[in-house]
């Protein structure tokens, strides 16, 4: 990535640039697999595409109440993103964030590690009932 030259990934840091490359690579190999299976409608991803989803993992970003600090390339100021509402998980449970654009709006997708619910004996859910089906 460093050999690509300055400005190739805009102001993304190396973690963000790796995320873009990983998504491009996954899309390319998925299209290649579909084409080799005979699906000629499968298209390879465009090389230069703006506003692709970018993911940062635990330890590479900072959560501060209703703000998230996303790292940027060396020499660029850090990016602070204000959130419409507070993240519903404690900061230590958040494992990754994904910044994406849909319908002209920016969204922050938060992935958190939530503890598994443990029920006291006799109070566990009825295994005969399936969630969402009564």
Is the model's pTM score more than 0.75? no
For residue 115, what pLDDT is reported?
86
β-bridge mates for residue 102, sequence order: 105
The mean of the pLDDT values for the chain is 80
For residue 84, what pLDDT is reported?
92
Q: Give the integer Cα–Cα distance in Å for 78 and 40.
A: 43
Confidence of residue 83 (pLDDT cuts 50, 70, 90): very high
Q: pLDDT digit string (tens) for 22-78?
A: 777 777 788 889 888 998 888 887 766 666 788 888 888 889 889 999 888 778 888
Contact 101, 51 (CB under 8 A): yes
Confidence of residue 110 (pLDDT cuts 50, 70, 90): very high
Number of other residues whose CB lies within 10 A of the CB of residue 55: 20
Confidence of residue 3 (pLDDT cuts 50, 70, 90): very low
For residue 48, what pLDDT is reported?
62
């Amino acid at each position: 990535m460093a050999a690509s030259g300055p400005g190739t990934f805009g102001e993304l840091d190396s973690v963000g640039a790796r995320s873009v490359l990983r998504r491009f690579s996954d899309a390319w190999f998925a299209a290649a697999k579909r084409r080799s299976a005979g699906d000629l409608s499968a298209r390879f991803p465009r090389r230069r595409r703006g506003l692709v989803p970018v993911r940062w993992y635990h330890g590479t970003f900072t959560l501060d109440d209703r703000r998230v600090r996303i790292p940027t390339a060396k020499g660029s100021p850090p990016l602070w993103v204000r959130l419409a509402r507070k993240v519903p998980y404690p900061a230590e449970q958040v494992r990754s964030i994904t910044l994406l654009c849909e319908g002209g709006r920016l969204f922050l997708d938060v992935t958190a590690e939530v503890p598994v619910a443990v029920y006291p004996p006799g109070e566990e859910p009825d295994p005969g009932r399936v969630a969402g089906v009564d």
